[in-house]
Amino acid sequence: MAGTVEEVSDANYKEFTEAPAAVVAYGIASCDPCNAYDPILEETAPKFPQVKIGKAKMHVPGRCREIKKMYTFETYPTTHLFSKGKLLLTREGKVEADELAALISDHLLK
């Protein structure tokens, strides 16, 4: 849904990332920076209703098994920016709201 943060899993990952503009934040529940990033995603999503913004919770058994096979994450959270299935940018660690907005504007809204 436009303007909200969606849950991303194996079931909807391909469709989600093939959108014209998508942001996926990968995280785990026991990660303090991941938990601090969630409100930033929630704050950013309404500002960019044309961009799909989602969270992939990697710790939930069976939800992200295929995603884990595609990527090796050394740091959580990790953020990917996609356009039509193509990975444009990877950013490791918590991204502050102003930087996330700039990344979206610079890479997804050209």
Q: How confident is the model at residue 1 (pLDDT cuts 50, 70, 90)?
A: low
Q: How confident is the model at residue 90 (pLDDT cuts 50, 70, 90)?
A: very high
Q: Which domain holds residue 81?
A: 5-107
pLDDT in tens, 30-50: 999 999 999 999 999 999 999
How many separate domains does the chain show? 1
d(CA 41, CA 72): 22
Statement: residue 60 has pLDDT above 90: no
What's the pLDDT at 108? Answer: 96
Half-sphere exposure of 40 (CA within 13 A, CB side): 19
pTM of the predicted structure, to 2 decimals? 0.95
CATH for 81:
3.40.30.10
What's the pLDDT at 110? Answer: 74
